Amino acid sequence: MQALGSPEFWIQQLINALGLGSQYALMAVGLAMVFGVMRLINFAHGTVMMASAYIGLLLLQQGVPFPFVALGAIAGAAALGVLMERIAYRPVRGAPDVVLLLNSFAVAVLLENVAILLFSPRSRPFPMPEVLTRVFHPGGNLFLPSIHLWALGGALLALGGLGLFVTRTRLGLAMRAAAENPTAAQLLGIEIGKVTVLAFAIGSAMAGLAVLFWTAHVGTINPGMGFEPVLKAFVACVIGGFGTIPGAVLGGYLLGALEIALQGLLPSGVVGYRDALVYGILILILLVRPGGVLGYLEAERV
């Protein structure tokens, strides 16, 4: 542990914040894309992460080499996202927001309990290859866990690719148009259904990537593991501004920084309350700046 306030301390905090923020950004982006095209807060996003982790574990147990395990987990997440949209959300398209929200709760509970049924509620170790768990000591008292580097690199690549996709390709532009004004987009010949499926596929794949880093951190997986990440992704989306991709990314990094700062600066007796503070800030942002830091969306008030 570095001395509080020393330059080393700040560098260490920055490393931790970037690592954690990358994971949150990857998780939040999927939520934001789905919210954009469907006005749905997809609560089942977290259980997709859980399911993808179990797919990874099953592949690993079959002796599949790790790079393919990772690819399989990401592809599995994407497939599950598409399936979820088909079964649970498409039939109720156009229904009031609450109907979609409740359906996403139902999907989350369903998937979690199917996992309990198949794999038991116990936590299982997820052996990660050494490249992901190694910790570098670049000098002084600094710790540089390689997982932070992987998370940061993965997030930059994936989010950069996503950025190019939504600004440079017809399909990506169609997705943004659909998010901005579904009716106008439809009038211009954009197939909302197709765009929605794509948003679910890409968003879930990002979640699949994020959960690899999350699991490498935690070391074990269990059927309830999706709950905390999806709440954090909510908070990230709210901080950045709900429903926009840049907002979600920014919110993810801000949330990562906030959590690391609270962890490092709060007196030890109060550190347990960190998450209460984080959600308190969530409520505060909803009240004073419901459009988030970037401020696109105006919350309807009564």
Partner 1 sequence: MIVPSVRREWIWGLRSFLLLLLAGAYLALERGGNAYLQRLAILFLINLMLVVSLNLFTGFTGVFSLGHIGFMALGAYASAILTLPVNLKAVNLPDLPAPLASITLPFFPALILGGLIAAIVALLIGIPVLRLSGHFVAVATLGFLVITRVVLINAETFTRGTRTFAGVPPFTTMGWAALWALLNVYVAWRLKHSPLGLRLLAARDDPWGAKSVGVSIGRMRLIAFGISAFFTGIAGGLWAHFLTAFSPNAFYFSRTFEIIVMMIVGGMGSVTGSILGTLLVMASTEALRNLEPGFAIGSLTVGPLYGLSQIGLAVLLMLLMTFRRQGLLGDRELRLEAIAERLERWLERRKTALEAPRVRKADP
Q: Rank residues 109 and 135 by Cβ distance to partner 1 and give the closer one.
A: 109
101, amino acid identity: L
Q: How far is the CB of 81 from partner 1 (least distance, A)?
A: 17
The length of the chain in residues reads 302
Give the residue from 179, 204, 289 showing the smallest Cα distance to 239. 289
Question: Are the beta carbons of 72 and 64 closer than 8 angstroms?
Answer: yes
Q: Rank residues 105 and 136 by Cβ distance to partner 1 and give the closer one.
A: 105
Q: How far is the CB of 117 from partner 1 (least distance, A)?
A: 5
Give buried/exposed letters for 24-59 (b at 16+ CB in 10 A, else e). Answer: bbbbbbbbbbbbbbbebbbbbbbbbbbbbbbbbbbb
Q: How far is the CB of 256 from partner 1 (least distance, A)?
A: 18
Q: Rank residues 125 and 272 by Cβ distance to partner 1 and give the closer one.
A: 272
Q: Write phi, then psi, for 205 (nearest 5 degrees).
A: -60, -40
Q: Rank residues 102 and 197 by Cβ distance to partner 1 and give the closer one.
A: 102
Q: Rank residues 184 and 284 by Cβ distance to partner 1 and give the closer one.
A: 284
Q: Rank residues 192 and 237 by Cβ distance to partner 1 and give the closer one.
A: 237
139 strand-pairing partners: none
Residues in contact with partner 1 by the rule CB under 8 A: 39, 41, 88, 91-92, 95, 97-99, 101-103, 105-107, 109-110, 112-117, 120-121, 227, 231, 234, 238, 272-273, 275-276, 279-280, 282-283, 286-287, 290, 299-302
What angle is formed at CA 197 by the lines to CA 193 and CA 198, rounded to 5 degrees?
Answer: 115
Q: How far is the CB of 169 from partner 1 (least distance, A)?
A: 30
Q: Within a 10 A sphere around the Cβ of 67, how many other Cβ atoms? A: 9
Question: Are the beta carbons of 179 and 243 closer than 8 angstroms?
Answer: yes
Q: How far is the CB of 60 from partner 1 (least distance, A)?
A: 23
Angstrom distance (rounded) from CA 246 to CA 239: 11
Q: How far is the CB of 40 from partner 1 (least distance, A)?
A: 9
